[in-house]
Amino acid sequence: MDAIKGKFERTSAENYEEFLKVLDVNYLLRKAATVSTPVMEITENNGVWSIKSSTSLKSMELKFKVGVEFDETSADGRDVKSICNFEGGKIVTIQTAKKASQKSTRSVREMNGPNELIYTLTVEGNDSLVCVQKFKRI
């Protein structure tokens, strides 16, 4: 999994605003999220993985141990139970909403060659909407 470690900058985002709409993210936050150019940094230290996402407005850090469920507040404000696993060289994260009125999501981070990271997001139960973000190694 060393290939996925590093720092990456987003180069494109397909269906991102639509994805955020389905999660009931308000208009101003959606606009801010779609015009920003986030940097994602993936590191690992003694079995604890970290995925830091930073923009000029906001920074977030996801820390996890593979296969260990944990509580978190998602970037869009949902209270979720999360679990991250490695599947075929990919980091797969499942965020299960604690409230029935909120959505659960699945995200996959995978390398496409040595310098491009593909970040795919889906909402559980909505197979027609797929958000694909591409990042380049910096």
pLDDT, tens digit, 9 for 90 and up, residues 28-51: 888 888 888 999 999 999 999 999
Closest CA to 12 of 47, 32, 38: 38
* Angle at the Cα of 57 from the Cα atoms of 56 and 63, rounded to 5 degrees: 90
Q: Express as a percent the part of the chain with pLDDT over 90.
A: 84
Has residue 57 got a pLDDT over 90? no
Q: What is the mean pLDDT of the chain?
A: 94
Torsion of CA 49, 135, 55, 16, to 10 degrees: -110
Contact in structure between 98 and 82 (CB atoms under 8 Å) = no
Outline where the chain has alpha helix (H). Answer: 16-22, 27-35
Identify the pLDDT of residue 129: 96
